[in-house]
Structure 1
């Protein structure tokens, strides 16, 4: 990881570094220029092609992503990661048919399962019906926001809003909706218990005045955080959100979904907007700062209970955040410690004296720094639930901008 302290000399140094180093530091524009320089001398450089495709995919630039990733796969048939990313490029555009053979070819259980469920979706997926936009009041704000939504025309039930979620149901909600599993795979371990994820096709999911039809869905029997009035029926997040211009209005306690309009600026939101990248199939990333350190790459996860910030002990100490070693806790099966940051920020949105958690070790699946290896670029933190309470946060997956505005 490059140093967190930024200075003009740091940027000058980075501009001469190799593109892999720049990419790892989250300097995607400079890395892209570096990979293009490599291609001018080596047009069949599979690594450069793959990385150019990945950078384009992170920014939802689907044409270049498809072009470069296809060339990388043709040159290196064993490049499973580029096959997955090319499949994701199609999935984000709701073009499921070309994604199926790519996922089948990776020989990975999760990919095989999703290829199977996509093959069971006939007709046009992700069909949107109803109003041009809808505002749905939060049913609860804590432990994380939730709203009412209907599955297959049933009575509205409570769903958690989590940007680290796709569309996920409980086992009971899936059975009540009459869903049939067409595929399954192991989803790892939760609270010491192995979790199996089941996949199927959902006829209808209705949120407020908007209905979405013919969509993939997953369910499992893992425990969810309790809510006022009983357990939730599931959760939804980024795979729903990126089909709309989505605002989680924490301060106003509402979810706002608006149909996307390409190429149109959106009033005051056009000023002060942050860059937005999408890693994997549902991990939003942007630029954030810990005190005076940054801006650097961070993740945005609205599903963190009782916390505003996730990072590691090593990063916390490096940027001067005090770690409370006297009160260790178990989190994700690993040792973590409470922290309180004097100041953190996403652009002009600032949180002061915010509580968070620092993990002792970096490991896959930990929001923020733990996903650096998974994504291939360094992350310094994850900004989560408590940070957003004074704000409204808008995800624009067309212009790839994030707005965090105080209400």
Structure 2
């Protein structure tokens, strides 16, 4: 791993945070190069595939977070039984979702106005691998083996970047979306490494008690619901813009979203560190709020820097990252960054409550995610209007999350 090789004195948590920055930078470079090489119209299809990848990551995150949580709580035969069952259900879920994508590939092509249906078929073939990969990552996350966790993310990112670029520059006669999806699917196999094969077993012996099974089921349902809201909030705008606007405008908006979402992706590392830390503190009967406050401070600081940069240098950012063909999006950049920043901060609160098995913030996130879709459906006369309604929805979400935190904090201190 890059961070282990060059900076051996850092703690595993610090190496992981640095690795996340490297991975995010690589993913951004991947997106930016595709935007520059393909141009707005062809990039629209590539951006849709990237959006599908993000959607997949949120669905699979249910299994990763559940594995992370119960890797902290369960031990010995109980853990072995749990991890075997998770692998089983993750594999089944991946096969079902992948099969649905393959069967309805033609309909997906018509819905999103893409040049090919084969891109959805190929993507569907790789879905089961991604789910297995997510369970493996959850084990590393829960047991705080952050260096191995970083390896899986770096392997996926570097392989996707290198393989996709090689395909695009060497096979010019094939549709670019097919080459992009091929690179994505191959990267899933690299993301499996290192694989903790001792945890994987086709023979599942269930020794979990009814109470443990109920605890797992509740967390799965709660997490799945929240990850659904993440999918809605993070990706509904790109999918709806792809549906309502022309290819060129959809490509421009995709570039805007990729730059503006740097806040969310940079701050995601704090969510990865927050969950096991909060669960461990709760298990020991210690206060968890100070951990939340610390990470909220980090996120607010980083988000403020990004928003300010987007406000002061929008044309420079777009020119350097995507090129002059996308400059018409410059006036919207800081506004989109605000919407993403509001969501990033509220996201920290949501995962904090999620780790404590508290339901109300998750339900609220779902309602606000649905409201964002409805707002865009009714207000999409321009790309500016699409961005403004997202700011409104995310501002309301953050206010509600803050209100709930202070209510619970005051309740616990009485």
Q: TM-score range with shorter-chain normalisation?
A: under 0.3
TM-score (norm. length: structure 1): 0.27
